[in-house]
Structure 1
Amino acid sequence: MGDAIKGKVALVTGANRGIGRAIVDSLLTNGAAKVYLAVRKPESAKEIEAQYGDKVVTLAADVADTASIQHLATQASDVDILVNNAGIMHITSPLSENSEESLMEQINVNVFGLMRVANAFSDILERNKGVLVQLNSIASVKTFGDIATYCASKAAAYSITQGLKDKWSDKGIRVLSVHPGPIGTEMGNSAGFEGAPEATVVSEAIITALNNGDFHTFPDPVAKQIEAAYQSFSDAIITSDISV
């Protein structure tokens, strides 16, 4: 197992709560030198700042705004590990009255947000031989009717993640696609996932996957059930050298 974290500089979008906060904790516990907390409201990171002092730097950023992310990149040009965790989920089926609006909003954050982050930091990651960690979901490979618009946005994000892996393969940039199932966060609880595993299950799986050089990680028990069925397809198609 490698040591992909020690001494590295990381940036986490949506770092102030839930899975993002757990990722910050795991990165620092495993030896990261500094973590940028990229959040929409800097005041929301005060507790993390009090805990870690000068090991964290809070930066205002909104993945839904291109200019904001471009400015973020100018402030964090030393990033080695870029974790795009920020995302939104609406409880919306394809038959909901607001389904079109819901899907567009989720695509703007969950898909275009990833593209904004990737484009803004591409040169930085190439220069630093860095890694992009993208928080996708089991919803990127399995659709659930009541959150179908969220699933569609995550499926699109997973496609973009695969595209980034392909385009960056000769630039020395690694990509990790993270696929949690139900997790006991504020977002998860709002979707009825009370009692689900804690966010540390995801953050520790990310550390392991980074050290192993993996492309996928399916962290929790529900996700691992899907991984077991998906693995052969992934090996034969997703991570193979098929070209068109």
Structure 2
Amino acid sequence: MTNKKLIVITGASSGFGMAMAEMFSKSGYPLLLLARRVEKMEALGLSNTLCRKVDVTDRETFEAAVREAEGIYGKTELLVNNAGVMLLGDLTIQNSQEWQKMLDINVMGVMHGMQIVMNDMKARKSGTIINVSSIAGVQPFGNHAAYCASKFGVVGLTRVARNEMSPFNVRVLSILPGAVETELIEHTTDPNIVNGYKEWKENVGAVNITAEDVAKTILFTFELPQAVSLREIVITDTKQDA
């Protein structure tokens, strides 16, 4: 058993979440990995790791998984709210069900996660919450209206939670990645938008930054002393100009 404290990562079956799982595991942390595709997480074969099939919009199941892991590894020291979906579309014609799905997962899922761990962290006067937003949480992009709404929401709620939790020595941070090669764009249902997005990335050369780079940044941020809070981190490929 490790003497390091529990790390909870949502959306751990691909992209940033999977990269974080591997990196935190190599650093000796016990993990709770949450996603809807549990077999992808289990295939990593990480030690001191509990994998559970959880939809972050289902608060009851989400909390049950956290409490189960805490019963094994102790209280959550870091929660990374990483689960998210990107359904790009023209606001004038996009199906409103896609808007709702993004708001439910990208915003409500984050709020569920925070509420599940915040009271324990306050009582212990220790802990860190890192919410994965996006550069689309601080600036607009075409065909990103509802996605921007959800990610601007994550930035706003993170700021409010940070104000509420900082007197208790609890860090609440957000990381805002730019374009990175992950499965995220594949969620979008309009093939023209998907192709345009991929073409834009190729044209600006924003294809070199990786999920591992983002994971490394999150691990570094967490391992700083508890008194050090990197409140908001925008991380992009050096060649990304917007």
Q: 1:225 to 1:123 in 2, by over 3 A?
A: farther
Question: RMSD value over aligned CA atoms?
Answer: 2.2
Is the counterpart of residue 27 in structure 1 residue 27 in structure 2? no
Give the aligned length: 216
TM-score for the superposition, normalised by structure 2:
0.81
1:200 corresponds to 2:212: yes
Fraction of identical pairs, as percent: 25
In the alignment, structure 1 residue 88 sits paired with structure 2 residue 76: no
What per-residue deviation string (whole Å, max 9, x for no partner) do you get for residues 33-65 of structure 1? x011112232222211x2x23x21112221111
Report runs of 4+ in structure 1 exceeding 6 Å deviation: 223-226
Distance across 2 between alignment mates of 1:180 and 1:97: 24
**What per-residue deviation string (whole Å, max 9, x for no partner) do you get for residues 66-117 of structure 1?**
222222232233211111100000011212241x322221111101111111
Query: Partner residue of 1:101?
Result: 97
Pair 225,30 (structure 1): closer, same or farther in 2 beyond 3 Å = farther
Q: State the shift of 1:118 in Å.
A: 0.9
TM-score normalised by the chain length of structure 1: 0.80
Q: SS of the counterpart of 2:12?
A: coil
Aligned pair in 2 of structure 1 residues 223, 164: CA closer, same or farther (>3 Å)? Answer: farther
Distance 1:207 1:225 in 2: 26
> Which residue identity lines up with residue 219 of structure 2 in the other structure?
I
State the match for 1:242 in structure 2.
Answer: none
Tell me, in whole angstroms, the C-alpha distance in 1 between the residues paired with 2:87 and 2:212.
23
The one-letter code matched in structure 2 to 1:219 is I
List gaps (5 residues or longer) in structure 1: 1-5, 227-244
Distance 1:57 1:127, change over 3 A: farther
Q: Is the 8 A contact 1:87 1:110 kept in 2?
A: yes
Q: 2:88 & 2:209 partners in 1: Cα distance?
A: 20
**Given that residues 82 and 133 in structure 1 are in contact (C-alpha distance below 8 angstroms), is that contact kept between their aligned partners in structure 2?**
yes
C-alpha deviation, 1:224, in angstroms: 8.5
Say yes or no: does 1:187 pair with 2:180. no
